[in-house]
Amino acid sequence: MSDLPQPIPAATLILMRENPHGGAPDLLMTERTGRMAFAAGALVFPGGRVDPEDRVAAARFPDVADGADRIAAIRETIEETGIAPGLSTSPGQELIETIRNALEAGGDLAALLDHHGLALDLHALTPFARWCPNFRETRSFDTLFYLAEVPAGAPEPSVSAHEAVRVFWASAADVLAEMEAGRAQAMFPTRRNLERLAGYGSIEARADAAIHPIEKITPWIEERAGERFLCIPEGLGYPVTAEPLETARRH
């Protein structure tokens, strides 16, 4: 019997915007505080665990099988960045902050949206990937990743001080360059996702992502020519599917 912790259902949103200077799109990233129990100090996309309230709200969308995950991704993005994607109408900055503060105080997203005359648009999110690593971490997550475009008129992101030290826009290539230079770190799934995203030249990445199957990715260790590699399956859209275990641990 495995002594690994039971994976926690979670959801993450990769929010994209057109680069104001042209070229590859920007992605919204956060840098977690060094005191977090999971992924301390790492660069991550906004996201977190799926709460029971997300499952209750998802009952309104019986045609969306992963509705709770999409709602969790939207809720976590509002809390962590002050940007509100996945809504039928884009609220102003003052209203977003009101909702954000209420969420951080334990409020229910669906009830808050109802109160302010807003509605969820779950189809604004495109499924991108599902990762369930079995590393021996303090916590293990089974995470669905989604893509979405930043809402029109969205405010600049602002950091959630209890979870992150900064939130910023950057291209996937620029984030990877920071990691390669040793100025940033990220977990294995985030690195693989950034490498995949670096191949997209525009926000139309959502259309390309839709053609790849969403299969649960659980990395495994494999020996090749006397060296141990951390591997993921081929055919899921990832340009890098194996990395020496030594470098995988360093990052």
* pLDDT per residue as tens digits for the range 140-161: 899 999 999 999 889 999 998 7
pLDDT at 35: 59
pLDDT digits 0-9 by tens, 80-112: 999 999 999 999 999 999 999 999 999 999 999
Rg of the chain taking only CA atoms, in angstroms: 18
* Structure confidence at residue 251 (pLDDT): 59
Query: Residue 48's closest CA among 86, 8, 15, 106?
Result: 8
Q: Is pLDDT of 246 > 80?
A: yes
Rounded distance, CA 15 to CA 26, Å?
Answer: 8
Q: What is the pLDDT of residue 100?
A: 96
- Window from 42-51, 198-207, 208-217 with minimum mean pLDDT: 198-207
Q: Please tell me the predicted confidence (pLDDT) of residue 120.
A: 98
CB–CB of 237/196 below 8 Å? yes
Q: What percentage of the chain has pLDDT greater than the value 90?
A: 74
Among 53-67, 74-88, 126-140, 146-160, the minimum mean pLDDT is found in 126-140
Average pLDDT score over residue span 187-214: 87
Contact between 161 and 115 (Cβ < 8 Å): no
- Burial of 38-77, coded b for 16+ CB within 10 Å and e otherwise, reads ebeebbbbbbbebbebbeebbeebeebebbbbbbbbbbbb
Mean pLDDT of 166-185: 94
Q: What is the residue extent of each domain of the chain?
A: 8-212
Percent over 70 (pLDDT), the chain: 93
Q: Is the pLDDT of residue 2 over 60?
A: no
CATH number of 8-212: 3.90.79.10
Look at residue 1 in the predicted model and tell me its pLDDT.
Answer: 40
Residue 230 has pLDDT above 60, yes or no: yes
